[in-house]
Amino acid sequence: MSRLKAKRILLPILKDSTPDWGYMEQYIVNKIATKEVPNLDPIKASSIDLKSAKWHEFKINDIMDVLGGVRLTSSDMRYGNIPFIGASDSNNGITNWTSDINSSTDNNILGINYNGSVGEVFYHPYLATFSDDVKRLKLKFATQATKEVHLFIKTMLLQQKDKYAYGYKFNGTRMKAQKIKLPAFDESTPDWKFMEDYIKSISNSHLL
């Protein structure tokens, strides 16, 4: 607490050296005013019935490569404009910004926490560097690796989140063996188009 109290920060000041609260407030108001707020379509039910699909169970390892992150401490990290993905449950998993590129740096991928907020899943279409607290799930079928397919699989993975919340330790081995249900033509062929079309049919899905 004493270190926090002694911490110095830069603020705009008036001629009498007191903080310029009015400037700070107006600065934030101006920033907010420049933000574009998207127009939302009326919420309506999807035109695609999930019950119309056939469903089969798939092991994660059957459809995705389970890859590790790389340990990068705050003291070793170099600041930059690449999102650093840590074991967070908010901000799409982004816990910092870095210029470090290593074997974990990837894009168009799911990140799933196995420490911290265990089982939380985020989709990363952008290039990002991953902490060793996060597993990367890379779809094995590159031509099917659309945003919509990733978001569908993310939803199925989140249904397993509570399983790892009570002493059942999450790790790479269990992740590979974890089963999720997906729309499929048969027990070995997921119906990727159904997944993509379903997500697209959701109201305002372009904002996901």
CA distance 130 to 99: 12
Q: Which residue type does 132 have?
A: D
User: Does 1 have pLDDT greater than 70?
Assistant: no
Angle at 149 between CA 173 and CA 127, to 5 degrees: 75
DSSP string, 147-174: HHHHHHHHHHHHTTGGGGSSS----HHH
Contact 164, 121 (CB under 8 A): no
* pLDDT value, residue 205: 66
pLDDT of residue 6: 78
pLDDT score for 83: 96
Q: How far apart are CA 125 and CA 82, in angstroms?
A: 12
Give yes or no for residue 40 having a pLDDT over 90.
no
Q: Is residue 111 within 8 Å of 83, Cβ to Cβ?
A: no
The DSSP symbol for 13 reads B
Cα 15 to chain centroid distance, Å, stands at 45
Predicted pLDDT of residue 139: 96
The per-residue pLDDT for range 63-122, each reduced to its tens digit, is 999 999 999 988 899 999 999 999 999 999 999 999 999 999 999 999 999 888 888 999
Q: Which pLDDT value is given to residue 70?
A: 95
Which single residue is written with the structure tokens 């379509």?
41
Summarised one tens digit per residue, pLDDT across range 137-194 is 999 998 999 999 999 999 999 998 888 776 777 888 888 999 999 999 998 999 999 9
Domains annotated for the chain, with CATH where assigned, are 54-207 (3.90.220.20)
> What distance in Å separates the CA atoms of residue 172 and residue 132, rounded to the nearest whole number?
11
Contacts of 65 (CB under 8 A, 6+ apart): 137, 138, 140
